[in-house]
Chain A
Amino acid sequence: MKDRPDYLAHAVLILGVVLFALPVWLVFAGSTQDSDAIMRGDLSLIPHLSNLSVYKRVLLHGTMGTEPVWHMLMISFGMAMAIACGKIVISILSAYAVVFFRFPFRQVAFWLIFVTLMLPVEVRIIPTYAVMADFGLINTFTGLWVPLIASATATLLFRQVFTAIPDELVEAARIDGAGPLRFLWDIVLPVSRANIAALFVILFVYGWNQYLWPLLVATNQGLDTIVIGIVKMIGEETQTDWGAVMATAVLALVPPVLVVVLMQRWFVAGLTEGEK
């Protein structure tokens, strides 16, 4: 490669970093400042470190009558984990069936799964609500995640991953005497663990950012997710405690970022280790 620093490339990269990082920095800086100053539009880019106690306040007590932020984080984390894990388990099982078994209407089954991709969540949200109401799951934690754990997209992705597994590997396992479940557990899952890790990250963030469904299904304040909590905090504009809102927003960023960072290590390891 070239020894000479490429100034243009660096300039573009720096611009990109600023574009992405500045809003986040602004929220962090804002969280430590006085609400009135923010209202006046007097937002300084330098955080007032003496005001960091706002984090402790929202974390333990919340603001404007919401639940404490730690509680909302727990609800969000539980929901996002349940959605991500549920989606992965269900998608792996259905993709496994579609790829490795020959049964009547296999293609029909696959296309039925595929078609649901085309229906946006909003279209089926009312019937879903009705079903959840019949199960008595309105205002329960279970109700938050159960309707969201089937995923056509993930099924499609795993189908591609499984289809790429060489036939000889399947046959070698058959000769070794591995039954369907053993083959899934011993061969298919380890071979696709990099994909599982990548998908987990995406699905966790998807679950974490859910807004519409939690808003509908859980009116009980004890089940507020962090996203709902932030919206509730904003409430009536004139009284909003902007410092607390911004602090909560920063806190809401932490778990998804941690998941991305931790899982990234895992799936990079998977990528370099896997395959022949």
Chain B
Amino acid sequence: MATLELQGLRKSFAATQVLRQIDIALADGEMLVIVGASGCGKSTLLRLVAGLETPTAGRITIGGRDVTGLDPSERDIAMVFQNYALYPHMSVFDNMAYGLRIRGLSRGDITRKVEDAAALLGLEALLSRKPRQLSGGQRQRVAMGRAIVRDPKLFLFDEPLSNLDAKLRVQMRAEIRRLQRRLGVTSLYVTHDQVEAMTLGDRLLILHEGTPAQLATPMEVFERPADTYVAGFVGSPTMNFLPGRLARDGTAVQLDAGPLIPLQGRRSGDAVTLGIRPEHLTLGGSDLTLTVDLVEPLGSETLLHGRVAGREADAITVKVAGAVTATETVTVGVQADQAHVFDAGTGKRIDPLGQ
């Protein structure tokens, strides 16, 4: 159990800067989920912490010990890979025991540790099987087991669930979280799946082109996204963005599409982007008139896709509870207290003054 600190971490491959400046500190037992689109540098960040890549600049400290120059095996970490990376010729037992054997543990200790981990993961019956005789979920568990037996200071997860089918993914997601809580091991978890990120993390780090866009708890990221990138990344369906200008001394947004949307509080700025999540639009309001072009019933709720009347560029999605009969044009209202305002130029969030 340990803390993890990254200070001024940078990584470039030749002329390409992959990570620009990462400073994070993880508390003991905390689980930080790193999310971002592919190519944002999230896997590189994980590999730097693992010691599989060498940082161009910066320091990595695990449990107060500077590990920047150390080999992966000396860092006291364990990693779970996307394709599990089980040794195909070894049994489940040997896969888990391999690292311990190299460390020179006694035979009795190894057997005890592997059996404990197997019991924890429900793998007791599979110990003598080879990886190819296991299902995807079982392989995933073995990969977890291999990480657990080493009793590491830090768990690293590299998109461990993305090779599983949807149902199993939900199940394993919960299992990973329970296990991590129970063992209390500080963890870094890389994913591109925002649902995984929201449910697993104590905190989220959203990476955008090698720079941290926001580092906060999942709810904070959802409720107060730091910029339009984060706002668009977290939440499903994606947040709607409408261009406009602050009006009425900053208490409303004059949309380019025409309507004036009142806000809560007063903000300073000029050209802005109004962000509003699909679930915060209500049918029957009078703020926007929508031309509906697609209705998607999801059972408990319905998605309406449409465009602001007269503005082809402004696509809008509305999420409504229950079933809706499709109509060509609907009017929707914006829940003013749920609207987000971003600077149109920088994309940064603009909070009401005095808050």
Contact = CB atoms under 8 A, between A and B. Distances in A.
Interface in A166-190: 166, 168-169, 171-178, 182, 186-187, 190
Interface in A207-258: none
A171 B52 contact: yes
Interface string B70-94: 0111000111011111111110000
Interface stretch (B97-105, B115-123, B304-312): B97-105
A169 B85 contact: yes
A182 B85 contact: no
B77 to A, nearest CB: 7
A169 B87 contact: yes
A176 B79 CA distance: 9
A166 B82 CA distance: 12
Contacts of B87: 169, 172-173, 186-187, 191
Contacts of A275: 88, 132
Nearest to A186: B98
A58 B240 CA distance: 93
A2 interface: no
A168 B132 contact: no
A182 B132 contact: no
Contacts of B98: 176, 178, 186
A147 interface: no
Contact of B85 (A172, A178, A193): A172
A168 B81 contact: yes
Which of A172, A190, A276 is most buried by chain B, counting CB atoms within 10 A of its CB? A172
Given A187-B87, A273-B130, A275-B132, A175 B79 contact: yes
Contacts of B103: 177
B72 A174 contact: yes
B210 interface: no
A191 B89 CA distance: 6
B46 to A, nearest CB: 11
A14 to B, nearest CB: 38
A159 B103 CA distance: 30
Which of B50, B52, B87, B90 is most buried by chain A, counting CB atoms within 10 A of its CB? B87
A274 interface: yes
A224 B103 CA distance: 52
B88 A191 contact: yes
B180 to A, nearest CB: 18
Contact of B86 (A178, A274, A276): A276
Interface size class of B (residues with CB under 8 A): 20 to 34
B85 A168 contact: yes
Given A176-B102, A182-B102, A186-B98, A171 B88 contact: no
Interface string B306-320: 000000000000000
Nearest to A169: B85
B131 interface: yes
Nearest to B94: A186
Which of A174, A177, A190 is most buried by chain B, counting CB atoms within 10 A of its CB? A177
Contacts of A186: 87, 98
A175 B99 contact: yes
Given A174-B52, A178-B102, A186-B98, A276 B88 contact: yes
Nearest to A272: B132
A172 to B, nearest CB: 4
Interface in B120-136: 130-132
Contacts of A176: 73, 98-99, 102
Contacts of A172: 79, 81, 85-87, 146
B245 to A, nearest CB: 51
B134 to A, nearest CB: 9
Contacts of B132: 275-276
A173 B79 CA distance: 11
Contacts of A177: 72-73, 99, 102-103
B278 to A, nearest CB: 38
A175 B83 CA distance: 16
Contacts of A182: 102
Contacts of B90: 190
Interface in A144-169: 166, 168-169
Contacts of B78: 175
Interface of B: 50, 52, 71-73, 77-79, 81-90, 98-99, 102-103, 130-132, 146
Interface of A: 166, 168-169, 171-178, 182, 186-187, 190-191, 193, 273-276
Given A178-B98, A182-B102, A274-B88, 5 more contacts: A168-B83, A171-B50, A175-B79, A175-B99, A176-B99
* Top-4 shortest CB links A-B: A177-B73, A168-B85, A176-B99, A172-B85
